[in-house]
Amino acid sequence: MLPPSITICLMQFSLSVLSLLAAYHTPPTFYFLHVILQAFCFLLQFAYPPNSNAVLTYVPVAVSFFQILRFSDFLLLSRPYEEFHQPGKPKYADLRPLGRLKWALNTAFSTRGIGWSWEIPYLPSSSSPITRRSLLRSLSVTYMMYDIMHTYSMRDPYLRTEGKEGVRPSEMPFSKRAPLMWAAGLSAVFGIVAPYIVVCVLLIGVWGKAEDCRPMFGNPWECTSVRRFWGRGWHQLVRRPLQVHGRWLAHDILGFRKGGAASAFTQAVVVFTLCGAAHWIGCFAADRSRWWIRTQAFFMVQPLGMVIEGAVMVVGKRAGIRDVGWVRVVGFAWFAVWIGLTLPLYIEDCAQVGMLKEMWRLSFVQGVSAGKWFVG
């Protein structure tokens, strides 16, 4: 039997499909009712106690929150029936019933809009043809990288004991803290990629096409600034609803000029405030005895990093410095330092709430090194 949090999340996505079909026949004045329905599903998550596995509460609740933002984007801030379509194919009004159902399913479940008019820009592409065999190879590499990074990060007593023993990473010397944070962060990356690859393997030829299974994360060597990391390196699963709300506040409410510094900063603050809220709510849902403010703080300081690097870039351009190899190395080093400084805010909360447990009980690295093939 599925945990209540996952059951409610699946119910919410099913209702999303029905809402998208029904909203077309609903006067726009009443679109907000469909958003309220999404909010009700989200609040329903808190009617049940947290699962003993924090991940099974944290993730569905965060996804449920993002689904509210997506529907606010779809029905309140956008015109999906006119704007959302596949190139060369009819818009919603011209589709037959089966085509409308497929449209609603794609809109409800697609997070990056691959192959649609609203496809997220700068999505990574695969360097070789995507097949089930290539995906399975990627899965094996992903598992090994996760195993290596997770094994390294779990050597730390604080992370291993959910904050009950050891020293907080934020109180460690930077030389020890930075590699630990990078290992913990990378284990999270590979932990996200693995289930995505499994879904792609199962759905190729059944629902989607191979070319739809684009890599989840961008090229790490593009992460030469905090802004480029969040805009191109990190996954873009929730980028659209966050950006749309940021633009709405900056342009429609505050009236800032598009492309201006005030507009860019306002959008960044909105994006990271909402993103932080989703992760904070996930932590709170998994353990309701604390407020988990450090999680929100981690996301709220990211715009500050963008402001710092933006000011340095302006000075550099005025001094005639161009975007050449050594500049990118400096940029990557800056980003690495920034993550080492700020990530403890989030990782410490993740450790205490129980989010850093093993994804796979089988550990090749620990089996070879210590004879401990099964962990957890």
pLDDT digits (tens, 9 = 90+) for 78-126: 999 999 999 999 999 999 999 999 999 999 999 999 999 999 999 998 8
Beta-carbon-side half-sphere exposure of residue 175 (alpha carbons within 13 Å)? 0
68 and 184 belong to one structural domain = no
Give the end of a domain, one of 109, 143, 170.
109
Output Rg (C-alpha) for the chain, integer angstroms.
22
Question: In the predicted model, what is the mean pLDDT of residues 275-289?
Answer: 97
At 334, which amino acid appears?
W
Longest dimension (CA), the chain: 64
Would 376 be classed as within a structural domain? no
At 135, which amino acid appears?
L
How do residues 160-179 score in pLDDT, each as one tens digit? 999 999 999 999 999 999 99
Would 149 be classed as within a structural domain? yes
Beta-carbon-side half-sphere exposure of residue 77 (alpha carbons within 13 Å)? 20
How do residues 127-138 score in pLDDT, each as one tens digit? 778 888 899 999
Check residue 357 and give its pLDDT. Answer: 79
218 and 342 belong to one structural domain = yes
d(CA 182, CA 371): 26
183 and 238 belong to one structural domain = yes
86 and 228 belong to one structural domain = no
How do residues 294-334 score in pLDDT, each as one tens digit? 999 999 999 999 999 999 999 999 999 988 889 999 999 99
- Residues whose CB is less than 8 angstroms from the CB of residue 350 and which lie 6 or more positions away in sequence, other chains included: 184, 283, 295, 356
Would 121 be classed as within a structural domain? no
Instruction: Give the CA angle between residues 253, 255, 257 to the nearest 5°.
Output: 140
89 and 182 belong to one structural domain = no
Residues β-bridged to residue 208: 204
Quick check: 182 pLDDT over 80? yes
Quick check: 276 pLDDT over 70? yes
Would 124 be classed as within a structural domain? no
10 and 79 belong to one structural domain = yes
Check residue 39 and give its pLDDT. Answer: 97
Would 348 be classed as within a structural domain? yes
How do residues 9-29 score in pLDDT, each as one tens digit? 999 999 999 999 999 999 999
Residues β-bridged to residue 362: 374
d(CA 118, CA 110): 10
d(CA 350, CA 295): 8
Quick check: 359 pLDDT over 80? no
Inter-residue contact 241 to 73 (CB < 8 Å): yes
Would 222 be classed as within a structural domain? yes
230 and 302 belong to one structural domain = yes
Quick one: DSSP state of residue 77? I
- Provide the residue range defining the domain that includes 54: 4-109
Inter-residue contact 50 to 269 (CB < 8 Å): no
At 366, which amino acid appears?
Q
If phi over 0 gives left and psi between -120 and 50 gives alpha, with beta otherwise, what is residue 76? alpha
Residues β-bridged to residue 374: 362
Bigger pLDDT: 215 or 206?
215
Total-model pTM: 0.94
Inter-residue contact 153 to 159 (CB < 8 Å): yes
> Position of tokens 């909105």?
270
Quick check: 208 pLDDT over 70? no
Quick one: DSSP state of residue 219? -
Check residue 249 and give its pLDDT. Answer: 97
3-state class of 204 per DSSP?
strand
Question: In the predicted model, what is the mean pLDDT of residues 224-239?
Answer: 95
Share of the chain above pLDDT 70, in %: 98
Q: Residue 26 has which token pair?
A: 């609903």
**How many domains, in total, are found in the chain?**
2
Quick check: 212 pLDDT over 90? no
Would 234 be classed as within a structural domain? yes
176 and 296 belong to one structural domain = yes
d(CA 281, CA 68): 13
Share of the chain above pLDDT 90, in %: 83
268 and 176 belong to one structural domain = yes
d(CA 110, CA 105): 8
77 and 42 belong to one structural domain = yes
Would 91 be classed as within a structural domain? yes
